[in-house]
Every structure is written in structure tokens, then in C-alpha cells.
Structure 1
Amino acid sequence: MTVNIQNLLRENIKKLTPYSSARDEFKGEASILLDANENAFGSPLPVNYNRYPDPLQVKLKEKVAQIKGVPTENIFIGNGSDEAIDLLLRAFCHPGVDNIIIVPPTYGMYEVSANINDVLIKRVPLTTEFQLDLDGLAEAIDERSKIIFICSPNNPTGNAIHREDIETLLNHFKGIVVVDEAYINFARQRSFTQELTEYNNLVILQTLSKAWGLAGLRIGMAFAVTDVIDVLNKIKPPYNINEASQALALQALENVDEINTWIKTTVAEREKLVKDLLAFPFVQYIYPSEANFILIKVVAPRELYKFLVDLGIIVRDRSSVILCEGCLRITIGTPTENQQLLKALQEYLPTSEQ
């Protein structure tokens, strides 16, 4: 099914004249730059940051395109994936009128961004197997439903969402389907990026924060048809990715082999940690994961969480999240960190059954 992207857009976004920066109006090489009111003397840092960065991150997109196999015109670079989430809501959802659909338990920023933008949230919980409830989604969709957010592999559950279920939505939903693949590098399931030519209502989110180890740089990516990418570029802040982040990300992207080694180590440690944790009597269940974390169901989760905090070991208490009652989320650390966690758990004796 082909979706009319222009019909989905807010009227004010269609009519918007984007801010034109100095670096938008001039492209190419020059010896004297007197157009952007920058400090011509440089900066007090070892590397000069006195010039504004490339507003469209052309070199970074070219490198991402080479690695991901996606044309540069289908790539948006954001200040983390959160910027793309916010921009999608601002572009396609009329405040107080339109709605989005989320499938909890899921990544919390979809809901936060919707609330900031005054967009109604419809919740269709995952099944007990943490898969999409297609009947529930069909019932929730109405003429004001603009975006469905799906995280796969899902956070906080760690599992991949069935591909055929996502394809069903793409084929029948007349809005945008966002597939958040923040953890795709750790999964057996292949990315949806190769399906961009089949679905013009598909937006894929990825990040350099997880497998690439660049969480501190805040580099997120959105992949979509040019009609969507052009809108995101139109409404984003003019210089949304700073020069240092662009340069460091480019440098990191030269090290694909090292990243692949880290991914293999993380997956192997994940499987080992699951096996070791199941030996503890207070661990009731560990959910299958295709991410760099695991969700474990335990006796007295809050008590165990506090026990670990007191030892300086921080995990995530997810016991109050729908369908995650009694659960902690544990990121896969280095082999040494994982062993320290196991050693600490050997000293733990639950005193309650909360």
C-alpha cells in the first residue's frame, strides 16, 4: 500500500519556510568566510570549533550510507533518535486532534514526546509473549491515528517483534509506522532498511549509542523515503549535530571490525549470563533477548535492586511497568563486570516476597 505523505502532514508544516542558514546558502570551499558572524580568530581549544557545522552532515551521511546500504537522501541524522521521534510528531500530528499508538511495554520517549506535543496516546499492550496484538491495533486505529511506534528488538523486554506482523501494519495502516531498531546490531532479525523501497510509510530509527558505543555523542538516525526525510530536514534546528560529534562519529565509523567483535562478545556474554543467573533460586524466569540486555523475573525485585545499588551495581527496576511485574532489566557488561554481578548475587538472600 502506498500512503500519501503530503495528506498526512500538518498544513502549517506544508507551508513552512525553513530557516536558511549561512551554510545552507553557500556550499563549497572558500578562503575567507565572512557570512555567518563567527569568530574569525578561532577558538581557545586545540581543535578550532569557531565555524558552524555542516547543517546536513553530508560526510557523516555518506559514511552511514556506505555501512547501512541506504542512499544518503534516505538518511536523517538527529540529536539522538529522540529528536527524530519529536520531529515526526511535530510534522504529522495536530496537537489536541491526532493520536499515536504505542504498544507497551516499550521505550518511554514515544509517550513523553507525545505528551509534550499534546498528542493523544492510544495504548495497545503487547501480548503475554511480548508480540503485537494485531486485533487490538486494528480496533484502536481511527481516522486521526497518524503514527504507530514499534520497538524491535523491544525495550525493556529484549525480544524482536515478528516481522510478518510489522509488515501487516505497513500494508494496511494509512499512517506512518516507525520501527525503532536501536538494538538491531545484537539481533538475529535483519533490519527493515532494505524494505524502504517497498513501503513509503516506513520510518526506521537506529542509533550509534548502543553497539557503536557513542551514547555521549547523541547521534541518532532515521531512514525513510525522501518525502519524509525532506520534512525532517525542513523542521529540524539548523545545526542540530555539532561539529565535534560529526567528526568523532566519522572517526568511529572507520572501526567496523572492532564493533563487530564487541557485538559478538556481548551476545556470547548475554547467553553465558542467562545460564549463570538461572542457577539462582530467586531468579524465576529470564525472557529471551536479542538486545544487549536481559529482562529477568525475580523474587522481591525492589529488594534485590536496592541490594545491588548498595554495592554500587546499578540495574533497572522495571517491576512497575505493565507486563514486567517482578522484573529487573540488566545490561550486558564486560566479562569482568558480569562476573562481579554474579559474585554479588551469591551473597544475596531475599527476605521478602514482594
Structure 2
Amino acid sequence: MSNIVNTLLNDNLVNLKPYESARRLFAGGQDWLNANESPFANEYSIDSERFNRYPACQPEAVTAAYADYAGVDISELLVTRGADEGIELLIRTFCTPGEDNILICPPTYGMYAISAETCNVGVKKVPLKPDFALDTQAICAQNDVNLVFICAPNNPTGTTVDPADLEQILTHFADSALVVVDEAYIEFDKDNTRAGQLTRYPNLVILRTLSKAFALAGLRCGFTLANRPVIQALLKVIAPYPLAEPVAQIAEQALSVAGRTKVELQVETINRHKHWLQEQIAALPGFSITGDTRANFVLFHSIHNKALMAYLVEHGMLIRDQSKQHNLEGCLRATVGNEAQNQRLISLINDFLQQTGVSA
């Protein structure tokens, strides 16, 4: 067999472990509560009349609608194939392979590091404090980074960022690095968005997505908000046609007045189910809530972590094991599903506890 792959493979990819997405970890399941997806599936219409034409690089119907939604100027926005493409574009645009570094604050979203490693860009790590707050002093001590990634609300801890901490970081890196605030879950914590601070901080970048609250994970549509010079630089690197025509059509409908109203109502429902799920888990023996619940999931610690996870998988209930993340040993993360899914999760946990001889 030819050894051409091993011969040609980039050196920085030899030991790279790909991101363990929900679909890569498990081939099937009855209840998918491990990818922070919305339990809602909304209806949209598609017009195939323009499918024979290449789409616009930045379809104005989408960019104008999202700029209005986010409260920014259309020149301060870039639409991408999910927020993941925004992450990759930032690294490819502002980091030189083999020379520059990004900074992340684990435990946090895994794609920041993987995107950097794929591009042969270094990854500096400043872990969150035990209470999952930013270690601002340690972050500001890292002066050889081009991008600082901060997830707020953070995945998987569900925590937000202290405004004073973020302001200190933005000010410290004003002339040396872009500070990227990932607001993928901001609809569940809307009072803490930083979108209104773009004019104040030229080095502030915000990532958004339609995957979570907008219930469009399958669409792969994200947004990067930043000052115009940053957006113009990203446009040098982005693919010619990043947004497929059907995606643009659905995104435009989702961002209509009716679409936004529907999202607000669905977020209220998810938050209501989330508080119920949180209360139920917190009342279980050997369980405790970890972090905060400012997103669409509940992170919890269980002394039965491994055995419980195996039991749930066996019964088609898929949640996410976060034990390998920094400072999250024994922790599991459950996405908020619909009422029936949430009740089934609690029922299965109670069944597990009974079988193991623990009184629930």
C-alpha cells in the first residue's frame, strides 16, 4: 500500500486529534441531548429558481437582517458557514503559521484550539479560575498572542464573563491582539451581549450563530461582528461563495420579524424547561450543578459519572461527558430537550440509581 499520505501529510497534523462532535462520538440514539441543539424544528420554504446561479458572497438580505438584529452596521458584519468558519477565518487572517499564537481559557469550546493546530498556529492556555471566572491577570501576562478567544456564555460551563474583566483584557490588548467573544448562546443571556461595544473597542470581535436559539444547527450559518477594517481583512480570505442559496433563503426567513418573535418564545420555553431540569438534577443523591445555566444546557457533577453515562448510552439517551475537560472531572452536560426528553432523562437517571442501590 502506498505511503503517500504519511509522506505528504503536514507535520502539524500528524498528532492532531479531530474535534469529537456529537455525531462522531455516537452513530445513533433515541434522544440527542449532547450537542446543544434546539428541540424545535421550524418550517421554511425554498425557491429553487436561482439554484443554477452562484450565490452572493455576502447576501444582503441576510447580512442586513442580521445587522439590524444585532444592532450593528452592515459593514461590521460577515456571514459565514457557521461560527466555526468565523473562528478559522480569524486564525488564517491574523496568525502566521509556525510563528503566532492564540489564547484560550479552558474548559471551553474545543474548536478554537483545533482550528489553530490545523493552521500550525500555537495555542496558549490560561485556565479559568475554580469558579470559572477569567484569570484576567494571567491572560494579560501573555503578550505573544494575536487572538484571545473568550466564550460567553461559556461552553461547557454555562457561565458569563464579568464586564470589568473583559474591559481590562480589551484595553490591555488594544494594540496587540484581537479579543474574540464567542456569543453562540447569547440569546439565553441577551443582557450580556457586547455587540454595542464595537465602536469603543477596535480590537473587539464577536461570533454569533443561528445554530442554537434559532434552531438551525443543520443550516451552518454564523456571523462575525467586528469593526470594518477587521471585516475587510476577513473578506480577503473567505471562500467566494460561503453561503449556499437555500441557506440564505432560510436565514432570511428566520431573521424576519416573525422569525425573531418565534425565537424569543422558544427561548422562553427552553429556559423554563432548563430550570426544571436543573432542579430535578440538583435534588438527586450524589449529583450537583456545576457552573451556571446561561445557555441551553445544564452541566452537573455525578459521583456515578462513568457508569451513568454508559447506562444512558445503552438506553439511547445521549448527553455529553465533559470529564476530560480542565477542572470538570466527573461532569456531564445535558442539552435542554423538549418536555418528554427532559422527563425521560430524569426517569432514566432515577432508574439507574435504583438499580445501583442508591435511593433517589
Report Cα offsets for 1:62-104 as digits up to 9, x if no partner: 1112212111100000101111111111111111111111000
Q: Which amino acid aligns with 1:129?
A: D
User: Contact 1:157–1:295 at 8 Å: present in 2 too?
Assistant: yes
User: Contact 1:300–1:352 at 8 Å: present in 2 too?
Assistant: no
Corresponding residue for residue 25 of structure 1:
none
1:160-171, aligned counterparts within 5 Å?
160-171=160-171
Mapped to 2, the partners of 1:269 and 1:311 lie a distance apart of 22
Mapped to 1, the partners of 2:203 and 2:245 lie a distance apart of 31
Mapped to 2, the partners of 1:101 and 1:64 lie a distance apart of 28
Corresponding residue for residue 136 of structure 1:
138
Aligned partner of residue 301 in structure 2, secondary structure: strand
Aligned partner of residue 145 in structure 1, secondary structure: coil
Report Cα offsets for 1:202-261 as digits up to 9, x if no partner: 000010000000111100100000000011112101001111100011112221111101
1:237 aligns with 2:234: no
Q: CA deviation at 1:339?
A: 1.0
Report Cα offsets for 1:170-201 as digits up to 9, x if no partner: 11112100000000100154210000000000
1:1-354, aligned counterparts within 5 Å?
47-139=49-141, 141-142=142-143, 144-173=144-173, 174-187=176-189, 189-254=191-256, 255-349=259-353, 351=356
Mapped to 1, the partners of 2:332 and 2:63 lie a distance apart of 37
User: Contact 1:285–1:298 at 8 Å: present in 2 too?
Assistant: no
User: Contact 1:147–1:178 at 8 Å: present in 2 too?
Assistant: yes
Identity %: 39
Report Cα offsets for 1:113-172 as digits up to 9, x if no partner: 100111111100000010111121122x12x31010000000010111112101111111
Q: CA deviation at 1:336?
A: 1.6
User: Contact 1:105–1:126 at 8 Å: present in 2 too?
Assistant: yes
Mapped to 2, the partners of 1:246 and 1:184 lie a distance apart of 22
Mapped to 2, the partners of 1:333 and 1:322 lie a distance apart of 26
Mapped to 2, the partners of 1:291 and 1:154 lie a distance apart of 8
Q: CA deviation at 1:282?
A: 2.6
RMSD, aligned CA = 1.6
Q: Which amino acid aligns with 1:283?
A: F
**Structure 1: gaps spanning 5 or more residues:** 1-44
With the length of structure 2 as denominator, give the TM-score of the two structures: 0.82
Aligned residues: 307
Q: Which amino acid aligns with 1:247?
A: Q
**Structure 2: gaps spanning 5 or more residues:** 1-46
Mapped to 1, the partners of 2:108 and 2:48 lie a distance apart of 42
User: Contact 2:95–2:121 at 8 Å: present in 1 too?
Assistant: yes
Aligned partner of residue 318 in structure 2, secondary structure: coil
Mapped to 2, the partners of 1:287 and 1:97 lie a distance apart of 35
Aligned partner of residue 105 in structure 1, secondary structure: coil
Q: CA deviation at 1:47?
A: 4.5
Q: Structure 1 pair 169/352, CA: closer, same or farther in 2 (3 Å)?
A: farther
Q: Structure 1 pair 287/300, CA: closer, same or farther in 2 (3 Å)?
A: same
User: Contact 2:140–2:172 at 8 Å: present in 1 too?
Assistant: no
Mapped to 2, the partners of 1:123 and 1:352 lie a distance apart of 41
With the length of structure 1 as denominator, give the TM-score of the two structures: 0.84
User: Contact 2:183–2:206 at 8 Å: present in 1 too?
Assistant: yes
Q: Which amino acid aligns with 2:133?
A: Q
Higher relative contact order (CA 8 A, sep 6+): 2
User: Contact 2:132–2:291 at 8 Å: present in 1 too?
Assistant: no
User: Contact 1:284–1:299 at 8 Å: present in 2 too?
Assistant: no
Q: CA deviation at 1:348?
A: 0.9
Q: Which amino acid aligns with 1:152?
A: A
Report Cα offsets for 1:303-346 as digits up to 9, x if no partner: 11111111111000001111111100110111121111111112
Corresponding residue for residue 18 of structure 2:
none
Mapped to 1, the partners of 2:290 and 2:106 lie a distance apart of 19
